[in-house]
Amino acid sequence: MSSVRYQSLGPLLAGEGSRAFLGLALEDGASPRPVVLIWAPQDVVQNPELKATLRRETARALVFEHPHILRVHALAEQDGGLARVTEFADGEPLRRLLEAHPACRRTSRRSSWRMPPWVCTTRTSRAMTTARPSCTVTSGPRR
């Protein structure tokens, strides 16, 4: 099995301080695939306790495989830095979708959103609402 190397191509967001970079996953015998490299701040890289926490959190995230969650591929150490490598998803930000469509409205102070029917496919509504027909997304605990 060949090891995967990651090549950083440049920041995803313009401006200084951006930590998310578009990159390529390079593996012998396979086509390069786009990924996102999210670079850890230097204070995390230099602190063994914070670095261990980042490793544990990344290891936990590696097991998630769902169409509505970005896949985490690895934690890569290169060029003196540490980057969490995730799948690249070229799409519209959810915030822009919610703001652009009046059918998406906030239903309470507890960060619930009413999603329009075209967003709520059966698969999405199951993933977001545990198959409840209302298709409401809630970020806080249910009471």
pLDDT given for residue 26 in this prediction: 95
In a domain, 51, yes or no: yes
Same domain flag for 11 and 78: yes
pLDDT given for residue 124 in this prediction: 41
In a domain, 67, yes or no: yes
Same domain flag for 37 and 21: yes
Same domain flag for 78 and 98: no
| Distance (Å) of CA 92 to CA 16, 41, 95, 136 | 23, 27, 8, 20
pLDDT given for residue 132 in this prediction: 36
pLDDT given for residue 35 in this prediction: 95
pLDDT given for residue 53 in this prediction: 95
Q: Which residues pair with 7 in a beta bridge?
A: 24
Structure tokens at 126: 């199951």
Same domain flag for 9 and 68: yes
Same domain flag for 68 and 124: no
Domain boundary among 87, 106, 130: 87
* pLDDT, one tens digit for every residue, the chain (143 residues): 568 999 999 888 766 666 899 999 999 999 999 999 999 999 999 999 999 999 999 999 999 988 878 899 999 998 889 999 999 988 777 778 777 876 665 555 555 555 554 444 434 434 444 333 334 444 444 33
Q: How many domains does the chain have?
A: 2
Burial of 10 (0-12, 13-18, 19+ CB in 10 A): exposed
Q: In angstroms, rounded to a whole number, what is the distance separating the alpha carbons of residues 80 and 100?
A: 41
**Is the CB of residue 35 less than 8 Å from the CB of residue 86?**
yes
Q: In angstroms, rounded to a whole number, what is the distance separating the alpha carbons of residues 51 and 83?
A: 11
List the domain range (segments joined by +) for residue 134: 94-138
Q: In angstroms, rounded to a whole number, what is the distance separating the alpha carbons of residues 117 and 77?
A: 43
CB atoms within 10 A of CB 66: 9
In a domain, 114, yes or no: yes
Q: What is the CATH number of the domain that holds 71?
A: 3.30.200.20
